[in-house]
Amino acid sequence: MKKYIVANWKMNQSLLEANNFFKEIESSSADVKVWVSPQSPYWSILLPLAKEKNILLGSQNISEHISGAYTGEVSVQTLKDFNLSFCLVGHSERRQYQQESSALCLKKIKLCLENNITPIYCIGETLDERKSNKTFEVLKRQLIEGLTSVSAEANILIAYEPVWAIGTGETATVSQAQEAHQQIKKVLKEESLLSIEPPVLYGGSVKPENAAELMQVPEINGALVGGASLKARDFSSIIRAAKALAKN
Ligand code: PEP
């Protein structure tokens, strides 16, 4: 399976920084797909720069509504108008600060799929849930609630992002990440959720120092990267780690 290296810039990067990033960044390859989600006002400026490196651009969120009186929201049609390729859905920061539920994510996932935008559905447990041995239960619930009634052939990616590892510098150990990824793949099969096995990315303090050991795990099909995606040098080194693994 190909590896996917996805940058989530969140509310970071000035236009100047974003421009410089694309000058320096390592390109996508046949085996390693590089995707970047900048802040939405920059899409049209960054699109040609990303294209030069075979990098696809995406959104960090969409509205669950098609159009209307929803101040401050971005519609899926806007993503299409800007030739965007993917959209993050249910990132833990949106679940935490905007109270987004998995049921709401399902609406967004369906809108993406109907409009040929690839959703990256983010799931993961909090520290309390992990401490009380609820990790597998939480992942199963998020998968069922977010993917029920999604077409079996849907083109979708899953990102396993343990909430306690996002932006904290704390990474899941290789075995913690591997068992969570195995559980996700098992639940998808048992619940007959998607007939085509989706790539499952790991996210949570991925950096140049730990990218290779995480991505050498067969069940980890790439990385969703926050902090370390802001510097072209660090992100390029994560991309190169994936390329080196793809060669073996
Ligand atoms: C993220 O926000 O999706 C993420 C994984 O962030 P970080 O890499 O900074 O932990």
Q: What is the pLDDT of residues 118-131, one digit of tens each?
A: 999 999 999 999 99
CA nearest ligand 1 atom 3, residue: 226
Please identify every residue annotated as catalytic: 91, 161
Per the CB < 8 A criterion, the answer to whether 205 and 168 are in contact is: yes
> Which residue's CA lies nearest to atom 1 of ligand 1?
226
Tell me what pLDDT residue 214 has.
97
Split at pLDDT 50, 70, 90, the class of 136 is: very high
Interval between CA 230 and ligand 1 midpoint (Å): 11
38 lines ligand 1 (CB under 6 A): no
| Cα dihedral 108/114/117/120 (nearest 10) | 40
Find, among 65, 61, 55, the residue nearest to 87 by Cα.
61
Of 138-142, 162-166, 199-203, which gets the smallest average pLDDT? Answer: 162-166
Distances in Å between the alpha carbon of 185 and those of 90, 192, 199? 19, 10, 9
The sign of the CA dihedral 92, 170, 86, 147 is negative
* Residues 6 or more apart in contact with residue 22 via CB below 8 angstroms: 46, 49, 50, 52, 53, 55, 232
Q: What is the dihedral of CA 203, 205, 210, 215, to 10 degrees?
A: 0
How high is the pLDDT of residue 170? 84
CA distance 92 to 86: 17
pLDDT of residue 167: 86
Distance between CA atoms of 100 and 97, rounded to whole angstroms?
8
**Is 224 close to ligand 1, i.e. is its CB under 6 Å away?**
yes
**At which residue do the structure tokens 């969409």 appear?**
62
- Ligand 1 geometric centre to CA of 174 (Å): 16
Q: Residue 137: count other Cβ atoms within 10 Å of its Cβ.
A: 13
Q: How far is the CA of 114 from the centre of ligand 1 (A)?
A: 27
Task: Check pocket membership of 211 for ligand 1, CB cut-off 6 A.
Answer: no
How do residues 159-188 score in pLDDT, each as one tens digit?
999 999 998 888 889 999 999 999 999 999
Helix (H) and strand (E) counts for the chain? 10, 8
pLDDT at 180: 97
Q: Cα of 69 to ligand 1 centre, how many Å?
A: 31
Residues composing the chain:
248
Q: What's the rounded mean pLDDT across residues 57-83?
A: 97
205 CA closest ligand 1 atom index: 10
The answer to whether the beta carbons of residues 23 and 234 sit under 8 Å apart is: no
Q: How confident is the model at residue 20 (pLDDT cuts 50, 70, 90)?
A: very high
Residue 247: per-residue pLDDT: 82
Q: What is the mean pLDDT of residues 34-43?
A: 97
